[in-house]
């Protein structure tokens, strides 16, 4: 699948309703998912000009605007997403455009792009384009799925050994090692951590696997159930949180 094909998928997702499509595991009863809350805590937004590249329905752009940013622009290539964003999340200091990043004029103090790089044909080129839109001393904050955890190792084994379709639309399976290499090439400082530890190796992972694995490995439902029981009983209790064991990576580049 190429990035071009994803526009149709995401238009359908946003037309259907983002929360109806994505697993309830992501939201866990909270209005704002944990990874987004971590992004909000990452930096002082007050008085900043901010770009949200790949804003979806505008939730994080709205929260950043509410947190004191001078101006926030949310862009997305899905018309359906932008329509939803305008309906659901509006503020005087917040605007939206259905546009390609390369066509956006001006520069920004902070750029956020959450859960987008893994869907793009060339993530490094996208990072270079984002860097070019930063003011001197600007900040670039990225999130994407992280695979350096038990959940990731199991799904990567299925992908590489059996070519199983482990996600709907990811083109790349990125880890902190990729981002550290890119930071050197871009000559930017990088700090990173992971969040959603429970999803990487805890109770959320078990819930995820109960839904995901029967769709990925369709041949033997009973064996899948036995494997999940073993994980929950014998492996999960021994797991410890580490810097790289969360299911979502948060990467903060400084120009």
Please check whether residue 66 lies inside any domain of the structure: yes
Determine, yes or no, domain membership for 233. no
| Domain count for the chain | 1
Quick check: is 236 in a domain?
no
Task: Let me know if residue 156 belongs to a domain.
Answer: no
Which residue in this structure is represented by tokens 């033997």? 220
Tell me, yes or no, whether 212 lies in a domain.
Answer: no
Cite the DSSP H helix spans in 53-149: 59-66, 79-88, 123-132
Of 71-75, 118-122, 191-195, 219-223, which gets the smallest average pLDDT? 219-223
Task: Give the pLDDT of residue 21.
Answer: 44
Task: Please state, in angstroms and as integers, the Cα–Cα distance from residue 133 to each residue in 51, 88, 90, 100, 220, following that order.
Answer: 9, 27, 24, 13, 50
Q: Per-residue pLDDT averaged across 94-122, rounded?
A: 96
pLDDT higher than 50, residue 173: yes
Task: Give the range of the structural domain holding residue 124, as residue numbers without chain letter.
Answer: 3-148+167-197+241-254
What's the rounded mean pLDDT across residues 65-71?
A: 98
The C-alpha atoms of residue 51 and residue 111 are separated, in whole angstroms, by: 5
In the prediction, which pLDDT does 7 show?
Answer: 60
Question: Does the pLDDT value for residue 224 go beyond 80?
Answer: yes
Rounded to a whole number, what is the distance in angstroms from the first to the last CA of the chain?
32
Top pLDDT among 26 and 93 is at: 93
Q: How confident is the model at residue 217, as a pLDDT?
A: 87
Q: Please give the pLDDT value at position 218.
A: 83
Q: What pLDDT sits at residue 74?
A: 98
Inter-residue contact 120 to 134 (CB < 8 Å): no
Higher pLDDT, 114 or 215: 114
Record the pTM: 0.91
Which CATH number is 129's domain given?
Answer: 3.40.50.150
Nearest to 101 by CA among 172, 174, 52: 52
Q: Considering the domain boundaries, does residue 221 fall inside one?
A: no
Percent of the chain with pLDDT over 70: 88
205 in any annotated domain: no
Within a domain: residue 183? Answer: yes
């Amino acid at each position: 699948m190429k990035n071009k094909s994803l526009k149709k998928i995401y238009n359908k997702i946003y037309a259907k309703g983002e929360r109806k499509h994505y697993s309830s595991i992501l939201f866990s009863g909270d209005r704002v998912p944990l990874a987004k809350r971590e992004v909000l805590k990452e930096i002082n937004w007050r008085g900043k000009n901010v770009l949200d590249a790949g804003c979806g329905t505008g939730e994080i752009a709205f929260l950043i605007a509410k947190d004191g940013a001078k101006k926030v622009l949310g862009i997305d290539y899905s018309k359906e997403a932008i329509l939803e964003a305008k309906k659901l999340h509006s503020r005087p200091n917040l605007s939206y455009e259905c546009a390609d990043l390369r066509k956006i004029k001006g520069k920004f103090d902070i750029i956020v792009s959450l859960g987008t790089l893994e869907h793009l044909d060339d993530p490094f080129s996208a990072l270079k384009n984002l860097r070019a839109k930063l003011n001197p001393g600007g900040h670039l904050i990225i999130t994407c799925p992280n695979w350096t955890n038990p959940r990731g190792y199991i799904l990567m084994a299925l992908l590489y050994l059996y070519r199983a379709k482990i996600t709907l639309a990811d083109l790349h399976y990125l880890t902190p090692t990729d981002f550290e290499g890119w930071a050197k090439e871009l000559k930017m400082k990088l700090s990173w951590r992971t969040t959603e530890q429970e999803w990487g190796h805890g109770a959320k992972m078990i819930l995820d696997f109960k839904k995901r694995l029967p769709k990925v490995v369709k041949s033997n439902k009973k064996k899948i159930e036995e494997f999940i029981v073993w994980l929950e009983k014998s492996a999960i209790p021994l797991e410890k949180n580490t810097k790289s064991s969360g299911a979502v990576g948060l990467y903060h580049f400084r120009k």
